[in-house]
Structure 1
Amino acid sequence: MHLFTKHSLRNSAFTLIELLVVISIIALLIGILLPALGAARRTAQSVKCLSSIRQLGLVSAMYNNDNDGHFVHVKTDGTTWGPAGSRKTYWPGLYLSSGYTSGLDAYQCPEMDDAASWFVEEDSSDPGSDNFQSIHYGYNYRHIGSLIGWGANQDKGGQSATRATAKEAQLRNPTNTILFADSTNASTMDEEDGPNGIYLLYSSVSTASWARGRVSPRHNKSCNVAYADGHGAGEAVADVTKPYETEAFLGANTADETNPWTINGKPGLN
């Protein structure tokens, strides 16, 4: 038979102060660990995003190989954007309908999953759907996905009938030429970023309301990029409100040899 005295009970039980100390320690540990876990989650999202955009670079190479070296049209609508009489289709729809990608995951950045209210479960059997405008990766549309150039009468390809895109062999330096990048559907940049991505990218900043499509450094002040040679990289942006002042995204008015959009000032062409 065991007898429990008040003294033994007192020694075997937590006092209120001891319990509060334990709770405080647990709360402190949670406070220390949560930011680290959040940072790890964001890093994992950025790595997954970079993998996706690299895959798009490889998809582009396969498409080009099957299309006489030409890059995919940013959009086909029978006007400035594509061959006369063509049905309106955005470049993700062109890839999907031709079997170069198998689903929508290829066009989604995990950092944007909760915010992309426009980009819902789209029916990929309709490549012309307007919802393809709101994918999370933008395309260098003026200099690669079309031959518009800048300003009036700047169809750099001189192929007004076919609206041909640039060809791989014409690029002077594909290793440094931007093909795809994280995008935001905004005409100006702010630290909160836009709520959706967009299928195209402008090659220089503009505050015009119609000029939507900005590179988005949404991964802890970094933007994931696929270059025209097929490789991908994360490019750091010191000031998220001024991504076009970063060397990786210098605008269209920079010197030919440092321009990552056109490389030589002629839509990336020789």
Structure 2
Amino acid sequence: MLEPSRHPRGFTIIELLVTIAIIAVLVAIATPAILKANTAAQEVKCLTNIRSIGQATLLYTNDHTQNFPVGLGNDLNLLNLVGKRGTNNGIGGVEPEDRLLYDYVNQQTDIAACPLDIGFDNSLSCFDLYGSSYLYMDSNTNSPTTRYRGRNDIWSLEGHRTTRVTAPKKKMLIGEATVIRASSNPNHHWHNDEANLKGSMSFVDGHAEVVEHKTDENGRYRNYNRATIEGWATQDDYY
């Protein structure tokens, strides 16, 4: 009498296909959660960066009689407080050591890079283009009579004393570059592609948070028609 074979039976084609199908379903279920967790981790990194830059700016004011940094009339402080030399010579063409907060961030350059920075209009990231993913509340003018108001008629901090800010918890100091870009372009949605756009921001009191965009419904900012963010959307004096 023949003994039964001791060799293990292999998978049948049907069993193999069922196994593959189960694995595919599990991957499909897990992928969104993994992507969401990865995005959340990147948001935390971005928030940490912008908090550090904001606090470095406040350290700068301590060494300069409580005055916020002042630019040189060439957008130096818009995106060039910290970071690397960008490929755009007009705005980003500033060497790291020439950026005002270079020593205040321990000469780090990557601190100016948001992991979610995808740039504008399918171009390079803002970090690669301008040397930084984050912008400063500058005035874009050297005129003593007009520098009180900054970009889009929003009150700037550049050149003023910290004591002029009456509500430091509400006044934006550093924000992601998307805060001055149109919300209608999906390439400007770094953190998400949903209706409620958001971005990281640091404030004059030293804290940082991720806040939602505030729509410019009244067209206050002339022909720019840009989305603004809570904390920067005001035409009032410092608050």
Question: What is residue 177 of structure 2 aligned with on the other side?
Answer: 183
Q: Which runs of 5+ in 2 are unaligned?
A: 83-98, 150-157, 223-229
Instruction: State the one-letter code of the partner of 2:199.
Output: C
1:219 equivalent in alignment to 2:211:
no
Instruction: State the one-letter code of the partner of 1:91.
Output: L
Question: What is residue 172 of structure 1 aligned with on the other side?
Answer: 166
Please tell me whether the aligned partners of residues 176 and 260 of structure 1 are also in contact (alpha carbons under 8 angstroms).
yes
- Secondary structure at the counterpart of residue 91 of structure 1: coil
Identity %: 24
Question: What is residue 230 of structure 1 aligned with on the other side?
Answer: 206
Normalising by structure 1, we get a TM-score of 0.60
Question: What is residue 156 of structure 1 aligned with on the other side?
Answer: 148
1:60–1:67 Cα change, 3 Å: same
1:104 equivalent in alignment to 2:76:
no
Question: What is residue 207 of structure 1 aligned with on the other side?
Answer: none
Query: Shift in Å at residue 187 of structure 1?
Result: 4.9
Query: Shift in Å at residue 185 of structure 1?
Result: 9.2
Query: In the TM superposition, what whole-angstrom CA distance separates every residue of 1:20-45 from its partner, at most 9, and x where no partner exists?
Result: 00000001111111111111100000
- Secondary structure at the counterpart of residue 260 of structure 1: coil
- Secondary structure at the counterpart of residue 116 of structure 2: helix
1:44 equivalent in alignment to 2:41:
yes
Indicate the RMSD between aligned Cα atoms, in angstroms: 3.6
Question: What is residue 198 of structure 1 aligned with on the other side?
Answer: none
Question: What is residue 61 of structure 1 aligned with on the other side?
Answer: 58
Query: Shift in Å at residue 91 of structure 1?
Result: 2.6
Please tell me whether the aligned partners of residues 177 and 262 of structure 1 are also in contact (alpha carbons under 8 angstroms).
no
Question: What is residue 215 of structure 2 aligned with on the other side?
Answer: 244
Instruction: Measure the CA separation in 2 of the matches of 1:113 and 1:224.
Output: 15
Q: Which runs of 5+ in 1 are unaligned?
A: 83-88, 121-130, 158-163, 195-216, 238-242, 254-258
Instruction: State the one-letter code of the partner of 2:161.
Output: K
1:33–1:187 Cα change, 3 Å: closer
- Secondary structure at the counterpart of residue 224 of structure 1: strand
Question: What is residue 202 of structure 1 aligned with on the other side?
Answer: none
Query: In the TM superposition, what whole-angstrom CA distance separates every residue of 1:180-204 from its partner, at most 9, and x where no partner exists?
Result: 111139753334224xxxxxxxxxx
1:219–1:186 Cα change, 3 Å: same
Instruction: State the one-letter code of the partner of 1:104.
Output: T
